[in-house]
Amino acid sequence: MITYIIRRVLLMIPTLLVISLLVFIIIELPPGDYIESYIAQLEAQGEQANPELLNFLRQQYGLEKPAYERYFGWVTGMVQGDFGFSFEYRMPVSEVIGDRLLLTILISIATIMFTWIIAFPIALYSATHQYSWGDYGLTLLGLLGLATPNFLLALIMLYFANVVFGTSIGGLMDPEYLDMPWSVDKAVSVLEHLWVPVVVIGTAGTAGMIRRLRANLLDELGKHYVTAARAKGLPGYKVLIKYPLRVAINFMVGDIGHLLPSVISGAELVAIVLSLPTTGPILISALQSQDMYLAGSFLMFLSMLTVVGVLISDIALTFLDPRIRLDQGAER
């Protein structure tokens, strides 16, 4: 058991290294660097760039060093908790992204919870009432949820909230809390605003989850042990709770690996539409202004979230499912 966990954690390291290399290549690809786009920006405003300042900046951030040196600098810095310096915000990257990353994680977890809470009963109903009107109706609803891109859903919800209720549902907290330190009131305000992005991001994932869970449950329900249990006179709901449901729970935990990348992707887009103070809006501006360390750290963190999420779901599965535990996780 413990060896399995240790092995999984060790396996994560090369994965993260490859990811960091890919991320670095992506942020290095555009021609020019931040200083150049900064000069362009200054000139567009009719100002003259001070060459001495620019040279100083270049040296300060090591932009003249060869790429591989900068890569190693970046990676070793990250291991030590130093994520580089954001050119645009003129402060360390960790300070820029700290709060925002926390909110992104919060939204992701809340969305997965929401997905589970909604998908579970619906899939259960659909599977036990296969080919009934309810099943068809719910399947169609799920398909509609799958077909509506979540950033468009966010737009539609913003519109109706504005027209019907006359309020703005954008943002993640009341405006007066924006720059305040964390307090109970602020947390309450965040919770009040959280449901909109959670519902919006959750719809597509919920629909997919319902379909997979339903198919999984149907497979289980058709198996002989269910028939045997029923033939011995166990009432229908008890059969359901005792056996297939437990398998389904394993499935839901294992499905995090599927769910997490799409939830994070969705969260980025929805955040831009709803202007949430999460990573989305900053990531896009950082990408556009070639604020490379900021953009790179964001990409790195977002992929790390997925990798760590999958790791947690794998470890949770080994606790839940003795088959994996006994196999030492040879086959996942």
Partner 1 sequence: MTTPNSPDVSLRHFVSTEPFDPKAVTKIAPELERYFLASQWKLMWWKLKWHRLAVFSGLFLLVLYGTTLFSEFLAPYDNHTRDIGHIYAPPQSVHLFHDGEFIGPFVYGIDYKLNMVNLKREYTDNPNKIQRIRFFCQGDEYDFWGITTGRLHLICPAEGGTLFLLGTDRLGRDMLSRIIYGSRISLTIGLVGITLSFFLGMIVGGIAGYFGGLIDIIIQRIIEIMQSFPQIPLWMALSAIMPLTWSPLVIYLAITIILAMLEWTSLARAVRSKLFSLREEEFCTAAKLMGAKPSRIIGRHLLPGFMSYLIASATLSIPTMILGETALSFLGIGLRAPITSWGVLLNEAQNINIVVLYPWLMLPVVPVILTILAFSLFGDGLRDAADPYK
Contact residues: partner 1, CB under 8 A? 15, 18-19, 22, 26-27, 29-31, 143-144, 146-149, 151-152, 155-156, 158-159, 162-163, 168, 170, 261-262, 264-266, 268-269, 272-273, 283-284, 287-288, 295, 298-299, 302-303, 305-307, 310
Q: Which is nearer to partner 1, 18 or 91 (CB)?
A: 18
Instruction: Using CA atoms of 60, 64, 65, 68 in order, give the dihedral in degrees to the nearest 10.
Output: 110
Q: How far is CA 303 from CA 36, 73, 257, 264, 309, in A?
A: 28, 20, 12, 9, 10
CB of 204 to partner 1, least distance (A): 9
CB of residue 125 to partner 1, shortest distance in Å:
20
Q: Which is nearer to partner 1, 147 or 231 (CB)?
A: 147
Whichever of 48 and 131 has its CB closer to partner 1, that residue is 131
- Give the count of beta carbons closer than 10 Å to the beta carbon of residue 218: 15
Classify 235 as helix, strand or coil.
coil
CB of 147 to partner 1, least distance (A): 4
The secondary structure of residue 163, as a DSSP letter, is: I
Convert 265-322 into a string of H (helix), E (strand) and C (coil).
HHHHHHHHHHCCCCHHHHHHHHHHCCCHHHHHHHHHHHHHHHHHHHHHHHHHHHHHCH
- Residue 158 or 190: the one with the smaller Cβ distance to partner 1 is 158
Nearest to 293 by CA among 21, 34, 16, 102: 34
CB of 206 to partner 1, least distance (A): 15
Q: Which is nearer to partner 1, 245 or 304 (CB)?
A: 304
Distance (Å, whole) CA 72 – CA 183 = 39
Residue 69 C-beta: closest distance to partner 1, Å: 22
